[in-house]
Amino acid sequence: MSIGGSRPHFIVFANEKGGTGKSTTAVHSAVALAAAGRRVAAIDLDTRQRTLGRYLDNRLATIRRTQTELPMPVHETFDPAKNDDLNAQLDRLAADAEVVVVDTPGRDDPYARQAMQRADTLVTPINDSFVDLDLIGEVDAETYKVRRPSFYAELVWKSRQQRAKTTGRTVDWVLLRNRLQHIEAKNMRRVGNALDELAKRVGFRVIPGLGERVIYRELFPSGLTLLDLQQLGNVGLSHIAARQELREMIAAFSIPEDGVEAMPQRAVAAG
């Protein structure tokens, strides 16, 4: 059940490792899609941390306090202690949405696995480090060549196979390559080469993510995003650059304007 009889597009942010900017990216994506005129619903599956839910609660409080109209997705937090039927909650949110954004916990979680099977676009943010890359594949310590895909890559592969078998639909797996300012150029190239090799073997595509910026942490209490420059005040060039990064990231997700089939693209490296 959905708007105009078409099924909404599910974009699921999933990574079993914390500290990759997953929730920050999910929040900004939900708001950016709402700002673009999409009807967006967002759900936070991390009942303990609840970063996405708290961020959007803060945004709603800012809207009410300032009486300012801002793009605002519908949002909920999944609580299995109250009702563990995740699919029913997702179906209810999807009934009045064009895009459903799902933020999952930064750990292995049965409900995250369940959500992954609903994904049209599966987004896995990682930082430019071999610590994060280890989530996707094991790398040789001397040659920096990929030895084998990791458990998580195999998990995603099985999830995609299951989805194709049960629904006949494809999943666009996107590796979101965030930038850490302290990473040296040589290390970035090595990570990029390893990602390029893994992309061909495992079947994801790599897109540029967001840079490491203090502004993301500073915006949390107000729930504002980089798209709300009029409300921020004292906007500098770094804010403009960060907003452009965000816009380019959303465009690279390639979410269809109508219809929900993920748009298969060849795996490419992001730099």
pLDDT digits (tens, 9 = 90+) for 20-47: 889 999 999 999 999 999 999 999 999 9
Measured over the CA atoms of residue 150, residue 202, residue 269 and residue 124, the dihedral's sign is negative
pLDDT at 264 over 50: no
Helix, strand and coil in the chain, % to nearest 5: 40, 20, 40
Single pTM value for the model: 0.88
Per-residue pLDDT, averaged over 127-140, amounts to 86
Q: Please, are residues 134 and 42 in contact by the beta-carbon 8 Å criterion? A: no
- Alpha-carbon gap, residue 128 to 126, rounded angstroms: 7
pLDDT at position 5 is 53
pLDDT at position 168 is 83
Q: Which two tokens stand for residue 38?
A: 């999409």
pLDDT at position 65 is 95
Give per-residue pLDDT as tens, 229-243: 888 877 788 888 889
Domain boundaries, the chain: 3-252
Return the residue matching tokens 């708007």: 3
Q: Which two tokens stand for residue 87?
A: 């699919």
Per-residue pLDDT, averaged over 72-90, amounts to 96
Q: What is the DSSP string of 35-96?
A: HTT--EEEEE--TTT-HHHHHHHHHHHHHHHHT------EEEE--TTT---HHHHHHHHHTT
Return the residue matching tokens 């959500």: 115
pLDDT at 181 over 90: no
Percent of the chain topping pLDDT 90? 50
Secondary-structure class of domain 3-252 per CATH: alpha beta
Q: Please, are residues 123 and 20 in contact by the beta-carbon 8 Å criterion? A: no
Which residue from 20, 12, 30 is spatially nearest to 179, judged by alpha carbons? 20
Which residue from 110, 203, 109 is spatially nearest to 156, judged by alpha carbons? 203
Which residue from 74, 67, 66, 60 is spatially nearest to 30, judged by alpha carbons? 74
Return the residue matching tokens 């049209």: 120
Pairing of strands 137-139, 146-149: antiparallel
Which residue from 208, 198, 214 is spatially nearest to 128, judged by alpha carbons? 208
pLDDT at 271 over 80: no
Per-residue pLDDT, averaged over 248-267, amounts to 67
Number of C-beta neighbours around residue 267 at 10 A = 18
Per-residue pLDDT band for 96 (boundaries 50, 70, 90) equals very high
Per-residue pLDDT band for 178 (boundaries 50, 70, 90) equals confident
pLDDT at position 22 is 92
Q: 51-66 vs 22-35: helix axis angle to the nearest 10?
A: 40
pLDDT at 80 over 90: yes
- Alpha-carbon gap, residue 259 to 9, rounded angstroms: 8
pLDDT at position 184 is 66
